[in-house]
Amino acid sequence: MQVEFVASAFVERDFPRESIPEVVLAGRSNVGKSSLINRLANVKGLARTSSTPGKTRSINFYRFDRTFFLVDLPGFGYARVDRGATNEWKRLIENYFRDRSSVSLVIHLVDSRIPPTKLDMALTDWMEFLEAPRLIVATKADKLSGSKKAAQQRAISNAFGGKPVILASAVTGIGCKEIWKRVVECVQASMTRK
C-alpha cells in the first residue's frame, strides 16, 4: 500500500482540491487518532502523536493508493489552549464537514477503558445530524485485561444505542483488519455511487 502526506490545513483554502473519498478520524483529544493512522498506514511517525493532548492542530490529509484520503482531525475538547484557539479549531472542523462532500466514513474513536463522555455523545449527535456513515472504534484496548475486553466493548456499544464497536489498539494492531475492511467497503461504495 502506498501512502502520501498531502496537506495540513489550518484554514479551508488549504483543503486539497482533489475530490476522492475521505475517511475521517474524529474523537476527543488524546484518544489516539494520529497513532491509529500510523498503525493503519504501517508508517511510524507519519502523523505526529504526543502524550499531551492537543497535538494535532490542523486537518491532515493522507492519500492511500491514490484512491482515498485518511483524514486526521484535531481532537475535540482540549481545554488547556486559549479559548480563541479552541473556537478556531471548532470552526475549522465544522467547515470541513460542511464543505467536503466526499466523506465516506467517519471513524469515531473512543477510549476503550472508560464510558463515552459527554463530548463523545455530542459528537455522535452531530454526526447523526450530518447523516455521516460512522464506525465506532474503542482504542487503547491493549490496556484492558482479557476479561475486561468483552465487557467494555458491550458497555460502550450499549452507550451508543447498540451500535457495533470495534476494539482496537495502535500498539498491538488488534482491530485494524476489521477497520480496514470497513474502510475499503465504504470507499468502494462511495466510488460506485459517483
Residue 153 near which of ligand GTP, Mg ion, none (CB within 5-8 Å, type-dependent): none
74 part of the interface to ligand GTP, by CB under 6 A = yes
Cβ closest to ligand GTP, residue 93 vs residue 186: 93
Question: Alpha-carbon distance 163 to 108, whole Å?
Answer: 12
Strand partners, 103: 22
Burial of 171 (0-12, 13-18, 19+ CB in 10 A): middle
Q: Which one, of 11, 10, 32, 70, lies nearest residue 169 by Cα?
A: 32
Residue 139 near which of Mg ion, ligand GTP, none (CB within 5-8 Å, type-dependent): ligand GTP
Burial of 85 (0-12, 13-18, 19+ CB in 10 A): middle
Give yes or no for a contact between 11 and 94, defined as CB atoms under 8 angstroms apart.
Answer: no
**Which grid cell sits at 139?**
482504542
33 part of the interface to ligand GTP, by CB under 6 A = yes
152 part of the interface to ligand GTP, by CB under 6 A = no
Nearest distance from residue 172's CB to ligand GTP, in Å? 8
Of 30, 34, 112, 139, the one binding Mg ion by CB under 5 A: 34
60 part of the interface to Mg ion, by CB under 5 A = no
Q: Which one, of 16, 25, 43, lies nearest residue 132 by Cα?
A: 25
Of 9, 27, 46, 56, the one binding Mg ion by CB under 5 A: 56
**Contact window for ligand GTP (CB under 6 A) among 15-23, 29-37, 81-89, 179-187:** 29-37
Cβ closest to ligand GTP, residue 53 vs residue 133: 53
Nearest distance from residue 110's CB to ligand GTP, in Å? 11
* Site for ligand GTP, residues 159 to 188, rule: CB under 6 A: 169-171
Nearest distance from residue 169's CB to ligand GTP, in Å? 4
Question: Alpha-carbon distance 30 to 36, whole Å?
Answer: 11
Strand partners, 135: 107
Mode of pairing for the β-strands spanning 59-64 and 68-72:
antiparallel
179: helix, coil or strand?
Answer: helix
140 part of the interface to ligand GTP, by CB under 6 A = yes
Positions touching ligand GTP (CB under 6 A) are 29-35, 49-51, 53-56, 74-75, 139-140, 142-143, 169-171
